[in-house]
Amino acid sequence: MVDYHTISSDPLDLKTIHTIVSNHTKLKLSESTIAKIEKCRNYLDNKLKDNKNPIYGINTGFGALCNVKITDANLTKLQENLVMSHACGMGERIPDNIVKLMLFLKIQSLSYGHSGVQLDTVKLLIAFYNHDVLPVVYEYGSLGASGDLAPLAHLALPLLGKGEVHFEGKIQPASNVLRTLNLKPIQLQSKEGLALLNGTQFMSAYGIHLLLESYKLLYFADLIGSISLDAFDGRIEPFNDLVHLVRPHNGQIATAKRVKAFLEGSEISTQEKQHVQDPYSFRCIPQVHGATRDTLNFVEKTFITEVNAVTDNPNIFVEEDEIISGGNFHGQPLALALDYLKIAISELGNISERRTYQLVSGLRGLPAFLVDDPGLNSGFMIPQYTAASIVSANKQLATPASVDSIVSSNGQEDHVSMGANAATQAKKIVDNSFKVLSIELFNASQALEFRRPLQSSNFIEGFMEHFKKEVNFAKEDRIFHNDMQKSLDFLKQFNFDFDTLLFN
């Protein structure tokens, strides 16, 4: 039986999106949504019959050409020209899962009945989504302000039977795939091209994808940090509830609680210690990881507001008999949130690399570079170099994109958010941070073996048993790149239920 999500007036939340994405759920429109889309389109058609005055984007040019009136006979050509002329993306093809999210979020935004699109246009977008017809969209081209213009133009081109799509494992002309699926291209009506191109679905799709990945990353940061804490013979007292209740940041409290849960029953954490304090990279895990968790909560609120919003322009209000040209396409809220996400995730990588550094430093009874006979063997010296290289790359990527702006459209679009650049930078940082944590896990697994016969917690020992099937103890030097890649693959293959990720 096919599982469907019904597009309706019910607001989306992150858990719902996670479920739709994870279960490959198909989409359909509710009857009330169909009625809203048709009502808005009929209103616009009647408005154009009765009103010959210029209405931006409907019977005028676009951007700096907003004062050029277009005749009724050329309204379809105007919209088609808009889509073709704006399909100017360059760079790498963005991942299929993000393109599919773009389709979903564009459908959601158009479903509210304030965009004036034809019902057939929304239905074709749904057909693309349900059949995994994924337009080829490129990394560069959006300034994150007049909507994600170039990326959304590439998303819209296949609706016209133009451009390319990724379908059944290969890139091919959209016209061929439409014929294969017996789908007819759309003849755009007034305002439709602008409705498809104005919007923040490139930034929003990246943001939603990165939120889900970041919660997964945070889970692993807490878990791997806990393993490293035991491997370093660290103290458990800094995770006591009392410490965090007198500085009650939500993320800090939740992180301390999760680390304690991971380490419950550990023989290593409860043995008598020879030291009274640990370095900050261990002792301050709740404060650092917790701050990132609080950041993710803020970013989630921003993006969930966005994906439940109308972000094209102009906006049509049928009941009020108003067509208003505004600026809901401007990506500033998303740009700031994405920059904040970049910084917060970079910090997970920064503190992870510091724990790796401590583990290889020959402290707490661990051999230098976590290998017997150091000197003959370099051991785990260079994996830490690689982690250091990656976290420095993250620091460079974390420079805020939103403080930049550049004039476009002959001065009409004189302030832009650069949120699209923030989005692609954030993805690189998240991907990089998985690599840094996989290196820490590789080191922590090796270090933990030097604590034998003492055991960590049942949970950690079970996790490590699975890990050691992929990456076993290194008695001497070998090609550690292969182990690091296996460690990364081990982390990436996990699928989590949503409640585990959030640890609410």
Residues 6+ apart with CB under 8 A from 312: 109, 110, 115, 147, 194, 195, 196, 197, 198, 199, 328, 329
- Within this chain, do residues 124 and 244 fall inside the same structural domain, yes or no? no
Q: Give the end of a domain, one of 182, 199, 216.
A: 199
> What CATH number is given to the structural domain containing 291?
1.20.200.10
| Structural domain that includes position 403 | 206-502
- Within this chain, do residues 141 and 228 fall inside the same structural domain, yes or no? no
- Within this chain, do residues 139 and 23 fall inside the same structural domain, yes or no? yes
Phi-psi region of 163 (alpha: psi -120 to 50; beta: other; left: phi over 0): left
Please give the tally of structural domains in the chain: 2
Q: Are 356 and 439 in contact (CB under 8 A)?
A: yes
Model pLDDT, residue 9: 86
Peptide bond into 333 cis (omega under 30): no
Give catalytic residues, as residue numbers.
Answer: 56
- Within this chain, do residues 195 and 263 fall inside the same structural domain, yes or no? no
Model pLDDT, residue 65: 61
- Within this chain, do residues 183 and 295 fall inside the same structural domain, yes or no? no
Q: 19 phi and psi, to 5 degrees?
A: -65, -45
DSSP-based three-state secondary structure for 88: coil
Model pLDDT, residue 205: 98
Model pLDDT, residue 59: 73
**What are the per-10-residue average pLDDT scores of the chain (504 residues)?**
88 95 95 97 89 72 63 79 95 97 98 96 98 98 92 98 97 98 95 94 98 97 98 98 97 97 97 95 98 98 97 94 93 97 98 98 95 89 97 97 90 89 98 98 98 97 97 96 98 87 67
Q: Give the end of a domain, one of 199, 227, 256.
A: 199
d(CA 243, CA 80): 62
d(CA 412, CA 205): 27
Q: Are 239 and 278 in contact (CB under 8 A)?
A: no
- Within this chain, do residues 14 and 61 fall inside the same structural domain, yes or no? yes
- Within this chain, do residues 184 and 215 fall inside the same structural domain, yes or no? no
Model pLDDT, residue 504: 55
- Within this chain, do residues 192 and 233 fall inside the same structural domain, yes or no? no
- Within this chain, do residues 195 and 249 fall inside the same structural domain, yes or no? no
- Within this chain, do residues 20 and 155 fall inside the same structural domain, yes or no? yes
- Within this chain, do residues 311 and 213 fall inside the same structural domain, yes or no? yes
Q: Give the end of a domain, one of 163, 178, 199.
A: 199
- Within this chain, do residues 195 and 255 fall inside the same structural domain, yes or no? no
d(CA 202, CA 89): 12
> What CATH number is given to the structural domain containing 62?
1.10.275.10
Model pLDDT, residue 350: 98
Model pLDDT, residue 502: 75
Q: Is the C-alpha dihedral spanning 137, 138, 143, 144 positive or negative?
A: positive
What is the crossing angle of helices 381-397 and 480-492, to 10°?
50
d(CA 54, CA 38): 23
Instruction: Please count the CA atoms within 13 angstroms of the CA of 241 that sit on its side-chain side.
Output: 2
Dihedral (C-alpha) 340, 341, 343, 344: value to the nearest 10 degrees? 110
Model pLDDT, residue 209: 98
